[in-house]
Amino acid sequence: DYVNFLVPGFLVTVILWSGMSAAAGVAEESSTGVHDRLRSLPIPRAAVMAGRSMADGSLVGWGIFVTAIIGILVGWRPDGGVAKIIAGFGLMLVAGYAFTWIFIFIGLVAGNAQAAQGLSMLVIPFSFISSANVPVSSMPGWMQPFAANQPISVTINAVRGFMVGDVDQLGVGHTLGYWTLLSLIWCAGILLVFGFLSVRR
């Protein structure tokens, strides 16, 4: 039972761990003049970052796929049905793409790859203070409101709901539609804010 609880949490948090490489890559490109060369071309400024985000989003997708294979090898058995399982993976890809923009922005402001790697660690606590490894209800009371409503936990709740077929048995309250919609709202907000900041930078 714990494997089926844990693996969806791992699948979502791998978004953060895989995305960290984007920050270092963007910082290296920025410091070595790649962006200067691209900006001299007759292309929209947004195209440079959009291309980078799609490449890094693909790497995050690969990380999710590999983690899912490992999860199956250790006994994870999603039983939500084919359509819901596909929807769960689709939601993870959307979230992975959105979070990629956070790491792109970190890479643009860091100055060099080492600093970008260090700054990326500021995002990692979201994976620990979440419902990835344990139910939020088991955390200290003062931590629960943040842990329950931050984007990683919200996405995990939705993905778990898709993988098991329903959220009622998870004890997280609300419906699968609620968690899915809230996750998509978080993704849209992250994409809007950090996409805008990255393009401006």
Look at residue 92 in the predicted model and tell me its pLDDT: 95
pLDDT at residue 50 tops 90 = no
What is the pLDDT at residue 168?
A: 67
- What is the torsional sign of CA 186, 18, 16, 113? negative
CB under 8 Å to 118, separation ≥6 — which residues? 110
pTM of the model: 0.87
The predicted-structure confidence for 112-133, as pLDDT tens digits, reads as follows 888 888 888 888 888 888 888 8
What pLDDT is stored for residue 171 in this prediction?
A: 65
pLDDT in tens, 60-85: 999 999 999 999 999 999 888 899 99
d(CA 107, CA 114): 10
pLDDT at residue 41, rounded to an integer: 81
- Please give the Cα distance from 148 to 136 (Å, whole number): 6
Give 134's pLDDT tier (boundaries 50, 70, 90).
Answer: confident
Mean pLDDT value of segment 135-156: 90
Residue 98 has pLDDT above 90, yes or no: yes
For the segment 161-172, the average pLDDT, to the nearest whole number, is: 75
Task: Write the CA distances from 160 to 3, 44, 165, 179, 182, integer angstroms.
Answer: 12, 39, 8, 10, 14
Model pLDDT for residues 9-37, shown as the tens digit of each residue: 999 999 988 888 888 888 888 777 777 78
